[in-house]
Chain A
Amino acid sequence: MQKLGWTALAVLMLAACSQEDGGAPGNDGADETPAADETKAAKTADDSADGADAAQEAVRPPTDPYPSTYEPYPSDVVLITGATLLTGTGAQIDNGAVLLQDGKIMAVGAVGEVEAPESATVIDAGGKWVTPGVIDIHSHLGDYPSPSNASTSDGNEMTSPNTAQVWAEHSIWPQDAGFTRALAGGVTTLQVLPGSANLFGGRSAIIKNVPSRSVQGMKFPGAPYGLKMACGENPKRVYGEKGGPGTRMGNFAGYRGAWIEAEAYKKSWDDYWADHEAWTGKDDDDEDKGDAPDAPERDLKLETLAGVLNGDIRVNMHCYRADEMVQVLDMAEEFGYKVSAFHHAIEAYKIADYLAENDVCAAMWADWWGFKLEAFDTVPENAALVHAQANSCAIIHSDSATGVQRLNQESAKAMAAGRRIGIDIEPKDAIAWITANPAKSMGILEQTGTLEPGKMADVVIWNRNPFSVYAKAEHVFIDGVLMYDRSDPKRSPRMDFEIGQLNNKHTGGAGQ
């Protein structure tokens, strides 16, 4: 990629961006994930659907057929003490302490307020800063992995403008070396999205940044799914000469047509379940009872869209221009769903008030711009201007295998730009742009995203104020497990591709 001329590079960049958007807000994951035995029961019912067994249950398509098998590794009880804490809740605690136990944050407070058992490993973090684990709401790690070539390019199903049926997790390669580099940047959770070539790109996957032999081994337990959608230039560029859409109005016709189909699909299932319930309620001796109603045919594409209409799946909308974002919000109103976040919201500052009123997050870069016309109007103060609104939700995202390694620096630039025009933003506020706010948008704030008792012990110790170019993550804990220690090569993951290379040496690893 580095070897090509500017044109080729620009095109590649577009491809990367087109691969990227996604991320829809949805409901909290907990009530979306059926217990395993429920899933099994549903499958059984499905299998016997043709049997017309009088006792049969209603068919319920599985909601979690590729369930998370993630399980934290053993961890010590750890007391981090003497550090400056940025809690992600808007607080800064100087000379603070955090206790990690059984994979959870047990206590957070000033030194002296936090008591630790004698067995605790004590990390003297004087002069260090501690934050929640960094969350990237917009990643393509795993679906556009390193090495990057035709064999590994699995991020954009550019075969139809609506591929809501594809799931990013079926593309994610857990051996992507990029995960290790992101870990060294303090990233503990990512939302991996399909690309943005399509109006409907497919489902996202929310994963913990812990290496595993399978994607299921990385999946964030209980996290809701997102749906990636895309506005503007990318879909019309990709499909303009392939049957459309070829215009922005074509894009909207495509979205709306699909939502109408999804409404009908959702209704067919809702009707079926209602009919089935009525049928079940009838006495077996009732002569009018007849056979159980037939379940509708499953349609993977519409199943995902219906999941959005149900509120189970969160819409992550790649959208650069202010006017298009406003159109999208009307469309969401039209069909009764919610947009969780606009991604790449280059012009969010032009409608920051409107986004806040509509309770929509804006996920932004600090300063990327100009690679296409819809990315021409950014300002360095974009995130700060969004943040300055009451009830705002500003997020800094990466969309990049290098950017994800320095989301702290990206936030620092955006914070500093805001401060220079008089917006009062401190590190204790801006840290939420890469922790609590993406967690909220992704539906995992109850589990992670802040330093609060009871949450997953996803915690980063930085060697200094993380809003600095010189800051490095020294220790990264995920569910209380020390997954990365900058001073210990044994605590640095190294993917299969990078071992036994360069004359039988190991390359790569976190911190490479």
Chain B
Amino acid sequence: MSRDMMSTLLGAAAAALTLLSVANAQTTAIMNGEVHTVSGDVIENGDVIIEGGRITQVGADLSAPTGSTVIDAAGKVVTPGIFAPYSGIGLVEVSAVDDSYDASPDEGFVLGAALDVRDAYNPSSTLIDINRAGGITRALSTPGIGDTLFGGRAAVIDMSGNVNSITKGDAAQVAVLGSGAALRNGNTRMGGWAVMREFLDEARSYHANPNDYVRRPHDGRFAVSDLKALGPVIEGEQPLMVRVDGANDIRTLIRLKNNYGLKVIIVGGSEAWRVAAELKSENIPVLVDPLFNLPSQFEDLGATLKNAARLNAAGVKISFYNPPGFGAHNLRLLTQQAGNAVAEGLPYDAALKALTLYPAEMFGLDAQLGSLAPNKIADVVIWDGDPLEVTTQPEAVFINGQRQDLNNRQVALRERYRDLSRGDLPHAYRGGD
């Protein structure tokens, strides 16, 4: 099918969507695409049927249900939506503008673990629209880390921008160890680890008998609300996402995990490949930035572009996160990061899993999300080519079975200024409809 015909069909589908979205019962048949189910095989001429917000059928030579919107995806690639497992999405608009930045507290603020992104998450952020247009359908909205070792409670959200877009609140707790913890605790790694153990001991003490704990005198170093929030962490139920890089710190983290019975996800892990066998046997996943390969600090001496490939080869579950400083604005670059990991030896199917299924697993959502399989929530992307390629873009994005608007503020700006001629009225009168 020609690109023009595709556009026409997509245009028709978009028009249909305008009518159907109100009805909240969109049935869509994506036909004849190269379907990467992720949990199963690649289907060369595959079909995906979406009904009532769920995927109902995936296979070849399926029939489009009566009344469904049919999208011919011939020559296109169909994948599950991309899941960004660590981001500031919904918490930041412009990083340097205080009143648009809620991702982490200023220096000196006393609470950490108690903070909950659900209190601040802004579904109207322009970042959501912009990254949705890049194929991101779910993300962990993640608090940054302030003065305490803990950042607070992250939530899995969908990228629809709807008012009710929290998929799972209290999905993970965030912490920093290693050099980052040292900075906050006497400027020695020993300080960071010692304070972390104190924190966990205190949380155990609180949860053993909260009423008794609050009656006893305390020196005030640990806020009760923080200790309270750590309940599911010390129970080993809630993932503790730990920013840590060096191999040495990772080994200490493994000891901590086993001493306290924690469920741990590593964020960063620039030298994780050096500890790959232990991470595999301890079942610890790692979120890597596959583009990070510089000895920025002494703990990063082993940083390499091959981190992702080596971890995966050792059986460690990986996913990707954006480099520091851009952790909210350009989640859409996760596919490029994955492509670079593939160029450095990560198998293609593992890269796709890292973008979709593995994050869903990390947050206990793999029964609902992360692959194209019957009964799963229909987060689906149709790409105009290889999704990991830098020249590729989504042509259609579905979240909860609803086809999404791919317009965004950057599209509006572009359209406003495509024609620079003076015109009859200033540019401020153009676009915006």
Contact = CB atoms under 8 A, between A and B. Distances in A.
B379 interface: no
Given A370-B95, A378-B410, A507-B302, A6 B390 contact: no
A16 B323 CA distance: 14
Contact of B94 (A372, A380, A385): A372
A377 B298 contact: no
Interface stretch (A19-27, A243-251, A409-417, A444-452): A409-417
Nearest to A472: B343
A13 interface: yes
B270 A371 contact: no
B304 interface: yes
A178 B294 CA distance: 7
B113 interface: no
Contact of A371 (B325, B339, B342, B414): B325
Interface string B364-400: 0000000000000000000000001111110000000
B97 interface: yes
Interface string A178-190: 1001000000000
Interface stretch (A100-108, A217-225, A347-355): A347-355
Contacts of B417: 349-350, 385
B100 to A, nearest CB: 9
A416 B336 CA distance: 14
B47 interface: no
A7 B144 contact: yes
A7 B145 CA distance: 8
Interface string B311-333: 00000000000011111111011
Contact of B324 (A4, A372, A416, A471): A4
Q: Would you call the interface of chain B mostly helix, strand, loop, or mixed?
A: loop
Nearest to A402: B291
Nearest to B249: A3
A368 interface: yes
Interface in A460-505: 467-472, 497-498, 501-502
B340 interface: yes
Contacts of B303: 512
Interface residues of A, number: 68
A470 B342 contact: yes
A153 B101 CA distance: 27
Contacts of A351: 420
B305 interface: yes
A512 B305 CA distance: 6
Contact of A146 (B105, B146, B243, B295): B295
Nearest to B336: A469
Contacts of A377: 413
Most buried by B among A6, A146, A380, A413: A6
A352 B420 contact: yes
B259 interface: no
A416 B304 CA distance: 28
Given A2-B268, A2-B296, A371-B325, A468 B145 contact: no
Contacts of A372: 94-97
B93 interface: yes
B235 interface: no
A379 B325 CA distance: 19
B218 interface: no
B34 interface: no
A508 B340 CA distance: 18
Contact of B340 (A181, A376, A469): A469
B183 interface: yes
Contacts of B328: 6, 370
Interface string A143-176: 0001111000000000000000000000000000
Contact of A469 (B293, B327, B330, B390): B390
B88 A6 contact: yes
A412 B389 CA distance: 10
A415 B97 contact: no
A156 to B, nearest CB: 16
A373 interface: yes
Interface stretch (B48-56, B61-69, B173-181, B275-283): B173-181
A420 interface: yes
B60 interface: no
A319 B343 CA distance: 35
Contact of A353 (B268, B296, B420): B420
Interface string A6-22: 11111111101000000
User: Closest 6 CB pairs between A and B?
Assistant: A3-B180, A6-B144, A469-B339, A5-B144, A13-B325, A10-B95
Given A2-B323, A148-B297, 14 more contacts: A2-B296, A2-B324, A5-B103, A5-B151, A5-B176, A14-B95, A146-B295, A352-B420, A378-B410, A413-B391, A416-B390, A498-B301, A507-B302, A512-B305
26 contacts: A1-B324, A3-B243, A5-B146, A6-B144, A9-B144, A9-B324, A13-B95, A349-B417, A368-B326, A370-B94, A371-B325, A371-B326, A373-B94, A380-B414, A385-B417, A401-B294, A406-B340, A409-B336, A412-B390, A415-B391, A416-B392, A468-B391, A469-B388, A502-B301, A507-B301, A508-B295
